[in-house]
Amino acid sequence: MTSGELYCCNVFSENPNVMRPNSSTLYERAQEGARLIRTRTSADLPVAIVLGSGLGAFAEDLTGAIEIPYDEIPGFARATVEGHAGRLVIGKAGEITIAAMQGRFHFYEGYSLEEVTFPVRVLKLLGVRTLVLTNAAGTLNIEYTPGSLMVISDHLNLLGDHPLRGANDERFGPRFPDLTSVYAQRLQDIVIDEANALGLEVRRGIYAALSGPSYETPAEIHMVRTLGADVVGMSTVPEAIVARHMDMQVAGISCITNLAAGVSDQPIDHSQVMAIGERVRGSFTALLKRVIPRIA
């Protein structure tokens, strides 16, 4: 659906907040979501972070935190995947107050890309200037070991859809935004510097987003590798595009959780993703605590 359409019914989501009769424009709905959040906090929020599968524990270490379940925020969908708690946590990482999305929404859950990226619109209206996107990803390269990190330098949108499709609202950004530098070079360098300082295994590479929910076939992995990707996943790209549409600075960090199909002959299971997320919890949290003050 486009931003200018009126919703006549709630057929796409179980959450009645997502689509309500007589809803107005996308911008106005984002304002409504931001207003609700502002009833809980007046803090300046220079940075927000989206925590991917198995990586939500970082939000639990924020100090002085308030938690807002997604189903209390107008326009937010419902997170249905294990490892995505479904709440917005606002608290301090060191001296910096940030907003942390403890879980995200996915295209494969049945949500439109407008719904998937709606929280990014709200974060922008809250004053967020820098967005850190994290995810769990499968690697196409045997040199990328499970538990290591990859800083995203660029992406391939292979979802078969685009989050800016439909009517454009100039209050958010231009009709034809430039995506030459989606992931800010300065932010990439900061993440790599701090990872190196902690002795973490980190590389820089290209993330390919496919729709899921099935893991990719060996033939699909061969195709994606031929296109130049280093890792594959089912998120991040729509959020990055929408953030850049609104002139936010974007950093992307992939936690390598498994070898992709065909790279290994072992079956892939979501429990493996969760286990790796738990294994890297300490080092991942330490990295973010060092990165956030520098990017803020």
Which H or E element spans position 115? helix 113-125
Half-sphere exposure of 213 (CA within 13 A, CB side): 12
Residues 159-183 have a mean pLDDT of 97
The predicted-structure confidence for 14-59, as pLDDT tens digits, reads as follows: 444 454 445 589 999 999 999 999 999 999 999 999 998 778 889 9
Half-sphere exposure of 118 (CA within 13 A, CB side): 31
- Measured between alpha carbons, how far is 201 from 196 in angstroms, rounded to an integer? 7
Which residues are identified as catalytic? 53, 84, 106, 108-109, 136, 234-235, 258, 270
pLDDT at 155 over 80: yes
Question: What pLDDT does 255 receive?
Answer: 92
The predicted-structure confidence for 88-106, as pLDDT tens digits, reads as follows: 999 999 999 999 999 899 9
User: Coil, helix or strand for 285?
Assistant: helix
Q: Cβ distance 122 to 245 under 8 Å?
A: no
Kindly indicate the confidence band of residue 83, based on its pLDDT and cuts at 50, 70 and 90. Answer: low
CA dihedral (82, 85, 86, 92) in degrees, to 10, reads -150
The domain made up of 26-295 is a member of CATH 3.30.70.1350? no
User: Domain limits of the chain?
Assistant: 26-295
Q: Cβ distance 88 to 103 under 8 Å?
A: no
Residue with tokens 């179980």: 14
